[in-house]
Structure 1
């Protein structure tokens, strides 16, 4: 847990001077008009996309079934989606303090969650064993892949609620018994439940990963991997199924950074750049990103761009908390805060990723 009185010192997410950055402004020429227009057009697409997702609160709508065509599924279910959107807006408007914790367990989770952005809990061995049993097919498939960090699509398998309703009921009951659902609802000020479950197996790479800026001779940042998530108004729970030490990719959270991630416009810009690919560290994409106006040069996955001796890098390193198995085997956290997850340098991490969202009614 974070030391008493220690918390992320800024009231906003890291701002990076790309003109002075050794992998951007220092090695790139001044963008021409055509490059600027191209960058703005790509950003505009990302901005429209993230604005639409934000307007309908897509994180809290039922996900299309695996294997189906998302657009067709959405069009067929449009009346249902519209009803859900209206009901969710109404329930939030009338909620008030209805979701404040009412039990000791819920309060015990909510207090550190509200203050630091994360709360550590310990599940019993029987609960971990039951999770392993219920997710055995997914875990077996993932263990055979031996996927290194950095490829979440291959290292995770999402469990479709329609195909595993009993599993979701069990997770929702367990989360409620532990006070997690109560704390998540109080934090988000809306009724939430377990809406997304994914099994995850991540292996350490065979060799240390190269710097994303190796092409210009710039070393990797000590903050590489730190980010804020693209979603909105959701909570995440990571459950370790094996022992996780400092080298096995524990969830690392910057205490108090959840309070710095509340600027609406800043969040839209960061998510727009990530959604349309402008956060890529490939040289061509770096040049396109650098062609954006300075006010739009922000990323959700910003960790690799933080210069080692900058104020923000120092603040992140000073206030980061790596949650290992010695503290607990589950962490409920606000993914809008600064965090790094599943980046093992040794061995393997086996975990379950749970997302709390508003459930369909």
Structure 2
């Protein structure tokens, strides 16, 4: 069993008592009215951003072509965007079980994806070699950008769909042949395809990073790096293009946590704080975050704040599955679940990250 019998035991994402936190309430004084108003204003800005993203569902709309004036491009494509938004809403409303897997290959991917939030996939060596060939220009550019060595960097090149339509056609066909598209459509209950492709190169730091709370002598959390993504209603596929062990950044997923990430308001609040910059661990931002009402003190990037003796930290450590290349060389997963990706402590990792979204029709 790919989840190794593990399953996240809570029905909600981690809740943190910031009044008792050693880097927040224990070392900070009670916020004054001015600080509270400032915090609320930041949160309000983030809330407007994430609400707009939720309503428009921006992750499922085609991006303007690279270069030029973004605002002008947005105005020109506004009729197309409005049509897509209406069609997407209608298709989701009427979907029902229309996208249930119809092939054995799709069903084999969908079953673990639904239960655990991720599905481990093993691509053949020929498929990996083809991907390297298809993305040779991007991978070469990444190597040149980071030569002769990288120090804790995550370099990424996103492939422009308008400039490389043949590349997107190839990946869409490959994903369909592997049953990935069928499983993704069944999971999201809508027709999806490869909407974004990015080549990534991640490297380890020359020296271990200091604790983000070093200013108050608090050690790094064992859950540092665990988070939920800011995007809505998408699935991601990470493909390793080389050996990936425990040290060079495997995807680590908390099995079953996808079912705990479905609370509407909780998701909005977490994403609002992250979009507003309130998830930063710098002291000034910690003080601003702590000035929020307790009900708004939630983050999408929460792992860094989980202290070691917390019940949620224990659950994450016990139920995480480290997906190294000894188990698989590709993982289809729900980024709304608790995960950590690309935390490289030794060597480096070359990978391709694909996002499944609704495509223009």
The answer to whether the superposition gives a TM-score over 0.5 is yes
Partner in structure 1 of residue 119 of structure 2:
119
1:173 and 1:129 map into 2 onto residues whose CA distance is 16
Partner in structure 2 of residue 193 of structure 1:
193
TM-score by length of 1: 0.97
Partner in structure 1 of residue 311 of structure 2:
311
Partner in structure 2 of residue 209 of structure 1:
209
What secondary structure does 1:350 align onto? Answer: strand
On the 8 A contact 1:250/1:323 being kept in 2, the answer is yes
Partner in structure 2 of residue 282 of structure 1:
282
What secondary structure does 1:95 align onto? Answer: coil
1:93 and 1:110 map into 2 onto residues whose CA distance is 21
Q: Which structure 1 segments of 5+ residues have no match? A: none
Q: Which structure 2 segments of 5+ residues have no match? A: none
Deviation at 1:248, TM superposition (A): 1.0
What secondary structure does 2:343 align onto? Answer: coil
TM-score by length of 2: 0.97
Q: Is 1:2 aligned to residue 38 of structure 2?
A: no
Deviations 1:184-230, CA, capped at 9 Å, x for gaps: 00000000000000000001111111111111111100000000000
Instruction: Figure out how many residues of one structure are paired with residues of the other and give that number.
Output: 357
Deviation at 1:148, TM superposition (A): 4.2
Partner in structure 2 of residue 230 of structure 1:
230
How is 1:1-361 mapped onto 2 (pairs within 5 angstroms)?
A: 1-4=2-5, 6-144=6-144, 145=146, 146-149=149-152, 152=154, 155-361=155-361
State the Cα RMSD in Å: 1.0
2:70 and 2:217 map into 1 onto residues whose CA distance is 42
Deviation at 1:68, TM superposition (A): 3.7
Deviations 1:302-342, CA, capped at 9 Å, x for gaps: 00000011000000000000001111100000000000000
Deviations 1:87-116, CA, capped at 9 Å, x for gaps: 111111121111000000000000000000
1:11 and 1:126 map into 2 onto residues whose CA distance is 41
On the 8 A contact 1:147/1:201 being kept in 2, the answer is no
Instruction: Return closer, same or farther for 1:8/1:68 CA change in 2, 3 Å cut-off.
Output: farther
Instruction: Return closer, same or farther for 1:18/1:112 CA change in 2, 3 Å cut-off.
Output: same
1:243 and 1:274 map into 2 onto residues whose CA distance is 32
